[in-house]
Structure 1
Amino acid sequence: MRIVVLGATGNVGSRLTAQAAGAGQQVVAFARRPDAVSSREGVTVVAGSAEDAVALEQAARGADAVVVSITGKMSDGSFMQNRLPGIIAARSRPACAA
C-alpha cells in the first residue's frame, strides 16, 4: 500500500510514518521541513505544504491513502476548513496522460 502522510514531521504524522514503514508500507512523507523527517527504509520524502496544490497532487498520484495530520494554531478555527478542500481536490484529480 502507498500512503501519503501530510504533516510527517509532527507528533502524529511522524509516528504514523514510522509505523507504516515498519509494517512494510510504502510511505510518502509530505512535509514543509523535509530535513526534519527521519530517514528510513520505505519512506520517500517530498517537500511541500498543504497550500501547494501542484506538489500535493504529484505526491498523492498513485496513492492508496492520504492521511492528513496537520494542524494550525489553536486560535485558527478555520484552518482545516481552508486546507481540506485543496487537499481533497489534489487527491481527486485524475492522472494526466503523458
Structure 2
Amino acid sequence: MISLYLYMNLPDIIPIQFGITLIPSNWGSKATIFIFPIVLLLVPTFMSKKTINSQEKSITGRIATEIIMLIVLAVILIMMIGAYYLYFKMI
C-alpha cells in the first residue's frame, strides 16, 4: 500500500542507489519502488514449507533452510524500510 501511495506522488526519476555519505549516486524510474514488495511476495512462494519439505529430507536441513529464509526476508524488509526512510528524509 505504501508503494502505491508513493508511486502516485513521486517524480518520474528517483534516486535508487546511495553512496556511503547517503548522497544519491544513481537514479532510475519511479517504478523501482515495486521491487521490494514483489520480492517479499515471491521469496516466500519459492521458500514455502511444502517446497522445502519436498527437497530436504532431514529435520536439521529443513530447520536450517527455514532459518535462512527468515534471515533473507528480514534483510529484504530492513532494506525496504531503509529505502522508504531515506526517501522521506529527502522530502
TM above 0.5, one fold? Answer: no
Instruction: Give the greater-gyration-radius structure (CA).
Output: 2
| TM-score, structure 1 as length reference | 0.29
Q: TM-score, normalised by structure 2?
A: 0.31
Structure with bigger strand share is 1
Larger RCO (alpha carbons 8 Å, 6+ apart): 1
